[in-house]
Structure 1
Amino acid sequence: MSRQVTSADVLGRAAALVDVDIHDAVKIREGSHAIFELPNGIVARIGKPGSFGAAERELLISQWLNRNGITTVCAVESIPQPTVVDGRPVTWWTLIPDHRPSTPRELGGVLRELHTLIPPTEFQLPSYAPFDGLRERLESAAKIDEDDRAWLSAQYLRLRQRYDELGNPLPPCVIHGDAWQGNLVVPRAGDPTVLDLDSVSVGWREWDLVQLAADYTDFQRITDDEYQSFVDAYGGYDITRWAGYRVLADIQELRWVAFAVSRSDASSTAAAEASHRIACLRGLVPKPWTWQAL
C-alpha cells in the first residue's frame, strides 16, 4: 500500500520548485488549509486539491484590499504564485512577526471599513454561501453516534428553512466571511492586519458580526464592555437585537460543529470535541459553553 501524501510532502515538493528554504518549517495549522511557518519570514498556505482558482483569487483579494486601505497580509512577490503540486495550490505569504489577536473594538472598526468597499470590478467575488459543504461535513464522519447524526441532519434542514424565510433589509456587501479576532492581528508596530482571505465574498454583513456576537451570548468569551466596544466601533449596530440573529448564530455554531465532525475520524481528540459540541447544540450542556480549539 502506498503511503498517503501529506501536506509536508506537498510543501517539500513545492519549495523545491521555487527554491524556498523549508529547513525547520513549523506547522501552524491543518484545517481547510495546511499552514507552515518557514525561515526568512515566509508563511506557506497549502490548499485542497482542485482549489487553484480560489488560491488565485486570494492573491488578487490581498492586492485589492491593500490598495483600498484595508491592511492585509501580503504575498511574497519574488515567488511565482500559486505553486501547484498534485493539484494542490501553495501560496507564499509574508510573515507578520510579533502580533496579537485584535480586540473586539479593533475588529469592529476594520469590519466597518471593509463593509463600505465597492466590490472589485477587475475580478469577481463569489456570493457567500453559508451552507456550502456543510451537509457533506456533517455526514462525513463514521465516529459519531447515529442518534447524533440523525439530529444533525434534522437540524441542518430546520436551519435551511429558517434561513430561507429570513429577510435582510440591507443590500449585500463585501464581507470577510470568517471574521473572528484571530483573523485580524495587530503587530507591535503597524496597523491591524487581515488574514485568511479564502472566504472573502459578497454577502450579508451580519455574517461578519455573528461570530463575535456568539462568542458573547453563548460562550461569554468577552465581557459586556468588550462587546459594546465592538458594537460602537462598528457604528452602533448590535446584531443580537436583530430578529434573525438566532438563526445566523445557530448556523454558525453548526458550522463549528461540522468542522470537528469532519476531523473526528482521524483524531480521538476531535471526536470527543465533536460529541461535546453536539451535546451543547442539543441542549444537554448549559450555556455558557466551553469548546476547545482544534
Structure 2
Amino acid sequence: MSSPEPIEASSLGILKKAAAISGIDPTRAELVRAGSNTIYRVDDIIGRVGKPGTTGAAERELRISQWLNASGLPTVHVADVVNPLAVVDDRPITWWQRIPEHRAATPAQLATMLRQLHALASPTTFVLPEHEPFAGLRRVITSTGCLAAEDRAWLLDHHDGLWKQYFELGPPTRKTVIHGDAWQGNLVVPVGGRPIIVDLDRVSLGRPEWDLIQIAADHTDFDRLSEADYLAFVDAYGADVTTDPAFRLLADIQELRWTVFALSRSEASESAAVQVRHRLACLRGEIDRPWRWDAL
C-alpha cells in the first residue's frame, strides 16, 4: 500500500487551484508553516489553506478582519484580489496581505491589545461563536493511531476530568470578545509600525481570562517568561490571572490543548511523537515544573 501524500504537497495542489479561482499566479508559492492551517507566501500575498468543512469559519475570519480594522484595532488585511475566499475539495483558501518585515510583540504590547480587544462590543453584522476550549480534542485523542492504549485511556480520563471541572465553573461572570490563541507571535510588530493582530480563526465570545493563560503558563509552568516581562504584561493589562481561582484549571486545559496538538502531528512527524511522550510525562507529574516543551 502506498504512503499517503504529504500534507504540504496536497495543500500546495489545493492552493494552486484556489489561486486560479482568485486570479493569483502561484508560481512562486513558498510554504511558511504547516499547522492547524497550512500557510503559503505568494509574492506579497499570504494564502491560508484551511481544513475540510471549515468554509463558514473562513468566511467569518474575513469579516472579523474587516470589523477589527474598522474598530481601530490594526489587524491583518484581506488581500485585494478577485475572490479572497476560494473553496477547493471542501477546503477554504483565504488570501491576505503580507505583513512587511516584523517581530513578535512584547508581553506588554500583547496585554495592551488584549485589554482593547476585551473592551470591544460584539459585532452587530455577524455572530461570533462561543468559545469552546475542548472543541475537537476528544476526536484527536480517540482517532490518532500512534498512541499506546494505556496512554489513550489516561489522556481521555484527564480530558474528561478537566471538562467536568470546567462545566462546574458555570457561565463566566464576564464574557467578552477574545482572540482565543493569544501569544506574542499572534501580534506582530512591523518595523516602525503599530502591532497587528493575526490568526483570527479562534476569535470568539468567552472568558477574557482565557486570553491571559498562555502568557501566565509560560511564566509559571515553563519558565519561558521572566518575572519582569510577566509583571509588564500584568501592568499593561491591569490584572494578574494567576490570582484567579480558575487559573490552575484553565492552565491545565491549555496544556492539554498543546499536548493534543502535538498528538495531531505525531503520525507524520517523529519529533511530534517524541513531544507527545514527553508532554504526557509532564502532565502525569513524572517531570517537575518548569517544563521544557519544544515548539512544533
Q: Which category describes the TM-score, using the shorter chain as reference length? A: over 0.9
Partner of 1:293: 295
Partner of 2:248: 246
Q: CA RMSD in A?
A: 1.4
Q: Quick one: distance in 2 between partners of 1:149 and 1:185?
A: 37
SS at match of 2:210: helix
From 161, 170, 179, the equivalent of 2:182 is 179
Q: Quick one: distance in 1 between partners of 2:292 and 2:21?
A: 43
Kept in 2: contact 1:49–1:89 (CA 8 A): yes
Q: Does 1:62 align with 2:83?
A: no
Kept in 1: contact 2:21–2:83 (CA 8 A): no
Equivalent residues in 2 for 1:64-213, closer than 5 Å: 64-167=67-170, 170-213=173-216
Partner of 2:28: 24
Q: Quick one: distance in 1 between partners of 2:105 and 2:83?
A: 31
Unaligned runs of 5+ in 2: none
Cα deviation per residue 1:171-195 (whole Å; 9 max; x = unaligned)? Answer: 2000000001100011102110000
Unaligned runs of 5+ in 1: none
Q: What letter corresponds to residue 288 of structure 2 in structure 1?
A: P
SS at match of 1:290: coil
Cα deviation per residue 1:137-187 (whole Å; 9 max; x = unaligned)? Answer: 122222122221111011011101111222566320000000011000111
SS at match of 2:95: strand
Kept in 2: contact 1:140–1:262 (CA 8 A): no
Equivalent residues in 2 for 1:229-240, closer than 5 Å: 229-235=232-238, 237-240=239-242
Partner of 2:280: 278
Q: What letter corresponds to residue 109 of structure 1 in structure 2?
A: T
SS at match of 1:165: helix
Q: Does 1:35 align with 2:39?
A: yes
Partner of 1:221: 224
Name whichever of 239-248 and 264-273 sits farther off: 264-273
SS at match of 2:108: helix
Kept in 1: contact 2:22–2:81 (CA 8 A): no
Kept in 2: contact 1:141–1:262 (CA 8 A): yes
Q: What letter corresponds to residue 136 of structure 1 in structure 2?
A: R
Size of the aligned set, in residue pairs, is 292
Cα deviation per residue 1:71-110 (whole Å; 9 max; x = unaligned)? Answer: 1000112331211111111111011111001100000000
Deviating beyond 4 angstroms after TM superposition, the runs of 4 or more aligned structure 1 residues are 1-5
Q: Quick one: distance in 2 between partners of 1:162 and 1:36?
A: 39
- TM-score for the superposition, normalised by structure 1: 0.96
User: How far off its partner does 1:24 sit?
Assistant: 2.9
Kept in 2: contact 1:104–1:227 (CA 8 A): yes
User: How far off its partner does 1:211 sit?
Assistant: 0.7
Partner of 2:258: 256
Q: What letter corresponds to residue 38 of structure 1 in structure 2?
A: V
Q: Quick one: distance in 2 between partners of 1:273 and 1:69?
A: 39
Q: What letter corresponds to residue 101 of structure 1 in structure 2?
A: A
Partner of 2:51: 48
Kept in 2: contact 1:185–1:195 (CA 8 A): yes
- Sequence identity percentage: 52
Q: Quick one: distance in 2 between partners of 1:194 and 1:116?
A: 16
Q: Quick one: distance in 2 between partners of 1:13 and 1:199?
A: 26
